[in-house]
Structure formats: structure tokens, C-alpha cells
Amino acid sequence: MSPSDASPIASPATSYPEDHSVRFGFENTYARLPEHFYARLDPTPVVAPRLVKVNRELARNLRLDPDALASAPGVEILAGNRVAEGAEPLALAYAGHQFGYFVPQLGDGRANLLGEVVACDGVHYDIQLKGSGRTPFSRGGDGRAALGPVLREYIVSEAMAALGVPTTRALAAVTTGERVLRDAALPGAVLTRVAASHLRVGTFQYFAARGDTEGTRMLADYAIARHYPEAAHAKHPYRALLDGVIARQAQLISQWMLLGFIHGVMNTDNTSISGETIDYGPCAFMEGFAPSKVFSSIDHGGRYAYGNQPRAALWNLARLAEALLPVLVQEAGSEEAAVAVANEALTAFEPQFEVARSAGLRRKLGLFTEHDGDAALAQELLERMAANRADFTLTFRRLCDAAAGTEGDAGVRTLFADPGAYDGWAAGWRGRLEKESADGQARAAVMRRVNPLFIPRNHHVEAALDAASKRQDFQLFEDLFEVVSRPFEDRPGLERYAVPARPEECVLQTFCGT
């Protein structure tokens, strides 16, 4: 639903009769933790909220009524003008390393956790407003969000979900009728974000920095109960918690790498304990493959470049291990033993990441069994892609056709500056495919389920955001959302969304929006 489809929403002063159709059924476990874990406050009302979009499928999965959310009272809740029945709004406290520098208090400076709902899968999910006004953690900021970054997070997070990557989700977006000042005055918006939780590595760092061992223990117990219930039955639950977070992060980063995704701000406050991708600021998908690629306008040293993401994740996990040391000491009996336990846990990240990445590359190449030399074969392709700036997504997608028959080679060759670079690699690949039992068509069909045709390419994202922000035209946003919601399907008529940007369309930098 675009703004042109929605009826005008009244100002904050307008009152509505109690509408029991807008029901969330909140179960707020985080709000039961001690008061120093958060700050209680309501969202700040806006002048004239107006609906941009409700994610109807997600709403139903959360046992919510999408029509009620799209109603006038529902939009007031999504904008922060009205507190839903059962909500206990709060801003979470956390700390974090930002580009390697520790900040002892960050917290939700522009976000408000309304509460938790239990979805159809029986899991608790946070419902959070992002851009809902100042909090005690705003550090002089306005607490608001501009429309462009809200729509970027909506598109990219939903694209990641469709690609099968653990991620926060977008439930709704509304405009506010107000302007926010960034480089210029921009239209304001509020995103309703859904997450398995908003616990971060930085949440643990917040308590560790204060020497609050009891707070660390309570937070660890909460994380175990919510995300790693099996750890509660382990001989050493806090070691099991650390192991679990490490395993999920290894899997998550491997998925990013297999899709050419660059997060852009992998700070510890943007590293989720649940193993979800969180905080889509200056994120982007690569086109021409380049391991050193950076899009973020603030990542001047390339700390979070595409190829550095596994290293950055391990660094962040080491900070989690440091924060957990007080409770690990309780299990291990001494600080020296606890440090040894933490280091042992951390050594598991790299092999777990490599196993996940190697398995993913085999699937992308149509290799369903494991043989010596597979990793080298995949690495050789990546090196040749980098040398020829071959489009990451299209190279693997067109390999699906090449796997079905040699006539598909032509489509891949055109992506390489030197087509002979592909030919030299393809000869070895075809020899390896002969060791597989599947026929070409069956192999290609399986490959198409892991090699997407459509990603939110940066130039299409920017065009959609530009049209929405400058002209209040949401059609490009709607069209792009529809495309990336079904990333693996061949869809005649939408070919332009699958091809790389022309030189004049290339997006060189992306921005946080804060």
C-alpha cells in the first residue's frame, strides 16, 4: 500500500475511540529485567503520520491483523502517536566498539521497544519502532529517521529474508509529516522492526564496562532462556552460550559472503546475539567482485570491507568473550581457566566459518558431494572473477545454465573482461562435474535455488529512495520490493533488475542515515 492508497491520518491531537481490533498480545519478558537494563519512555508523537507499507505476510506470521495495522489507530501506533494496549515502551541500554573504539554507553538513541509477541512458530519477537524520537541515549541526536534509510532497511532486510539469511524484518513504514535535518532537510519516517531480540554484543559490554557481574549474569541467563535454551542443560551454560553465539555468527557471515553482501558497520553494537543481521545502514551488495570493496562513507580504512567481514566478526566475538569472563570465571574456577575457556571457544569460529562457506560454494557450483580440490576450484573462480570484475550475482546465476549444458557458457563469458579467464576455469569445473551423478538439468535446477537472480542492486535502491524522498512517489519502492521478495525465480519482463548498473548509474558510497 502506498501513501496514495492510504487515507490521510489525523494529527496527534485527534482522539479515536478504543479500537480493540489493534491487538498485539504483548508478552514483555525484557521489561521484567531490572530497570538499569533500559529506560522506560513512550515514543514521541509526530505531526501527521501516513502509511507507506504494512508487511502483510509478516504480520500474519506474527499473529497480527494487517488490516488493523493499516487502520487509522494502527498507523498511530506504528508512528508512535499512540501506545498499543499491553505495550511497555522502553529504550535498551548497551555499549559497543565503533570502528575499534569503545563507547561505554550507546543504547537505543532513536528506537523504542514496544514489547514482544509470540509468533506462529512459538518464538518471541521484539516489535520496535525505529526513528520514534529522543531517548536518554540520544547523545544530542534528534532521535528521528529519514525516509530514505527507513525504506533502505525495509527493502534490504526483506530481501535478506527472502534469500534465507537470518535477519531482522520490516513490519511497517510510515511517514511522519515532519522534516529531519541531515545534510539537508529530509522527510521523516518511522520503521517498525521485528527481531528475535535486540540483544547485542554491546549489551554485554555495557554491564562488563561497569563491573556489574550480576547484571552480566542476568543478561546471560536471559539470552540462554530466549535464544539458546539447550545451553541451560549444559555442564557449563555460559560457555555453551558463547559457543552458540560463535556458531551462529560463523554461519551468518558465511551466508553474507556467499551473496556478496557487505554490512558496512560491523560494530559490536550491531552484532546480534541471536545470529540475525541487524542494523542496515550503509549496507550494499557487490556487483563487480572485489574482496576489498567498501561502500560505507564512514569506513575510511576498509575495516569492514567485504573480505574483512569474517575477521571483523571474530574480533567482535572476542569482545563478547571478554564481557562474559566474570561468569565464565564462576564456571571455570579461576580467571586463568576462564581465559583459556574463552580462547578455546573462539578458535572454533574460523573452522566453522570455512566449513559453512565451503559447503555453500559447493552448492553454488553444483557440487553435491565433497572431493579434494573443491575449495581450490572455488577459490580459483573467485580470483578470476576479481581479476575480471565479473558480476558476483550474475556469474553464479549464469553458471546454472552452464551446468545444464555448454551452450550456457556464453552467458558467463560475457561477464569477464577476458572471457578466456572463464574458459580456463570452466574446463576444470566440467571435469569435476563428471564425478557427480545428477544430470545437467537436475543440477541446474538445484543451483537456481541457491544462486539468486535478483538482489537489491544499489542503483535501483537509490532510485527508489530518491523518488520517495523527493517526489513522494513510492512506485519504484513497491516494484523493487516485489522483485527482491522472489529472488530465485526467472521472471520475464524484469530482466533490468538482474543486470549490473551502467557506469553512470554506479553507486560508490552508502550512508548511515543518522
Q: How far is CA 433 from the centre of its chain?
A: 34
What is d(CA 151, CA 3) in angstroms, rounded to the nearest whole number? 13
DSSP 11-78: PTT------TT-------SGGGS-GGGEEE-PPPP-S--EEEEE-HHHHHHTT--HHHHHSHHHHHHH
What is d(CA 507, CA 195) in angstroms, rounded to the nearest whole number? 29
* Residue 130, CA atoms < 13 Å, CB-side half-sphere: 30
What is the CB neighbour count within 10 angstroms for residue 336? 10
Helix axes 475-484, 458-471, angle to 10 degrees: 150
Q: Residue for cell digits 563487480? A: 288
What is the CB neighbour count within 10 angstroms for residue 230? 10
What length does the chain have? 514
DSSP 3-state assignment of 299?
Answer: coil
Which DSSP helix (H) or strand (E) runs through 177? strand 169-181
Asked if residue 206 lies in contact with residue 94, where contact means CB atoms within 8 angstroms, the answer is yes
* 269 classed as catalytic: yes
Catalytic-role residue among 108, 126, 142, 269: 269
What is d(CA 256, CA 271) in angstroms, rounded to the nearest whole number? 14
Residues annotated catalytic, as ranges: 269
